[in-house]
Amino acid sequence: MNSQGQFEKKDHKKFKFVIFFGIFGPLIYFLADLYKFPLITYFPATGEFFLGWRSFSEESGPAMYWYGWILASAILSSIFSIFFTYWVSLRTKYLVFLSNLIWISIFCILPFLIHSLKFYWK
């Protein structure tokens, strides 16, 4: 922001990136969880990392997929956000649309998230 309280060009790019990351981050995390797409699988009992999804085995113990989902979400959200930051020209009328789109995407994903956590409430 400059001395007159106006945003500079580089601030608009940061703002666009944050808006798109806020849209794509939860969406990609949800899809990675739903379709079992972690980039890495971690077995804390043995301290091993594997690329992709690896199922439970007796010698390696239970797997932690959360790290892979976060990594997939961060990388893919960054790629999509950079792409849309440079390819979509946002004007004032689009900012209102994008801020509404964030809330709409949150409320659309919320029922599926609650459904995916239903085994905790047995």
The predicted structure's pLDDT at residue 18: 87
Distance of alpha carbon 92 from alpha carbon 107, whole angstroms: 24
The predicted structure's pLDDT at residue 11: 67
Which single residue is written with the structure tokens 């599926």?
Answer: 112
Distance of alpha carbon 24 from alpha carbon 74, whole angstroms: 9
pLDDT bucket at 39, cuts 50 / 70 / 90: very high
Count of CB atoms situated within 10 Å of the CB of 83 = 12
- How does pLDDT run across 55-114, given as a tens digit for each residue? 887 888 888 999 999 999 999 999 998 888 877 765 556 667 777 777 888 888 888 888
The predicted structure's pLDDT at residue 75: 96
pLDDT at residue 30 tops 60: yes
Distance of alpha carbon 22 from alpha carbon 48, whole angstroms: 31
Residue 73: how many CA atoms within 13 Å on its side-chain side?
A: 22
pLDDT bucket at 50, cuts 50 / 70 / 90: very high
Whether the Cβ atoms of residue 26 and residue 106 lie closer than 8 Å to each other: yes
The predicted structure's pLDDT at residue 57: 78
The predicted structure's pLDDT at residue 40: 93
Instruction: Report the percent of the chain where pLDDT is more than 70.
Output: 82
The predicted structure's pLDDT at residue 41: 93
